Amino acid sequence: MKSRVPAADPLAAFPPALRQLVAAEVAAGNAVVEISSTFPAPPAGACARLAGRVTTRPRASAPGLTFYERNSSQYSGEWTDAKRFYWVIEPPLPPPPEPDMDAIRAAHTPSDDMTLVNRRPFEFGPGAAALDDGAPGSVLRRFQDSMAIDYEKWHDGIGYDLSLLRVADVADREAIESILIGRADRDWRDVEALAALNTPGGNAALRAAFARGNAEIRGAVLRYAPELVSEEEKLKSIVAALRTADFYGGLTAALDEVEEFHPPGVIAELFRGALHRTDGVPVHFAAMLMFLHGKAQEPFDWDQRPFFLRFNTQDRAEREAVFRELCEKVVVDPAPYLTARDA
């Protein structure tokens, strides 16, 4: 039988609020089944896994505690500190029942008095014909208008007007869904809107977009509909983006994900990229590695910028020298990366 509280308290490094949470759970009959320094904690932190769900406090954030409801194959609810270095997590939820395909099909069958407005994808740009399905001022037309992306919206990262989805009737929601499904693998805004609709057809389109889309689209699905992607798929997508994507094609989104999702495969790819990638990318990989190993206060610590900028060199000897310094700072053996072939 596993001990509820180990004799040598491995929770000593945890912030007080997380230690109090674990103590309350153990007193209430829950158990700590594992304390480790592996995912989801970064190398500089630690993670305590509970045997059961938390029952001694509301499932909400509080001073010193940040709470998220999750549903992954590895864990469900999570409590963590502000820097997301120390974690208390619950076991995974049981698998959901098999979907009722008859009910799903019935929900997508138009009734006799309601027909989808139009099934054509909505296009923009010179010569593109706008749909003429919604009356001026209608929710459908207003949503279509919000899909017109000018320079300001592109530059400022402004998405579609999702507030309209809350007031759209069934017919308008179905018409909007039809428009978005035809664009699911084109732009992050379409992904965001489909995720907000959260329909079986829209979710299926997002799954397909994740499978066939570029790094930017995969990153958008991970951001707006993470429940549709398995941990293994997420790992493969982020590693692929870290290896090949650029900052205007999904790399920024991947690095945002890495702040919270950093299993060993992701950490290894950051080291590999810090040694081998070009065009300024290693600068940001080195910064992230310092943060995840507890040697920086944020994902890009400006106080250490001069050190990070030394990775912006194509001279192999200089890159290897600063890479060794990085490994020394975070107490990692550089040899496996220096001797491996750059695949």
CB 177 within 8 A of CB 194: yes
List Cα–Cα distances, 89 to 12, 37, 169, in angstroms: 17, 13, 39
- CA distance readout (Å), 80 to 84, 134, 255: 5, 46, 20
CB-based contact 37:27 (threshold 8 Å):
no
Given the structure tokens 């693998």, which residue do they identify? 185
Bridge partner residues of 86 (DSSP): 46
| Secondary structure letter of residue 166 according to DSSP | G
Cα–Cα distance for residue pair 260/76, rounded to 1 Å: 14
pLDDT (tens place) for every residue of the chain, 343 residues total: 343 444 457 788 899 999 999 999 999 999 999 898 878 888 888 999 999 999 999 988 988 899 988 777 788 889 999 888 899 999 988 866 665 555 555 554 544 443 333 333 333 333 333 444 555 568 999 999 999 988 788 878 899 999 999 899 999 999 999 999 988 888 999 999 999 999 999 999 999 999 998 888 999 999 899 999 988 999 999 999 999 998 878 898 899 999 988 999 999 999 999 999 998 999 999 999 999 999 998 999 999 999 999 999 999 999 999 999 999 999 999 999 999 875 5
Question: Which structure tokens are listed for 289?
Answer: 């590695």
CA 29 – CA 71 distance, rounded (Å): 23
Rounded distance between C-alpha atoms, residue 4 and residue 275, angstroms: 43
For strands 46-50 and 78-80, give the pairing: unpaired
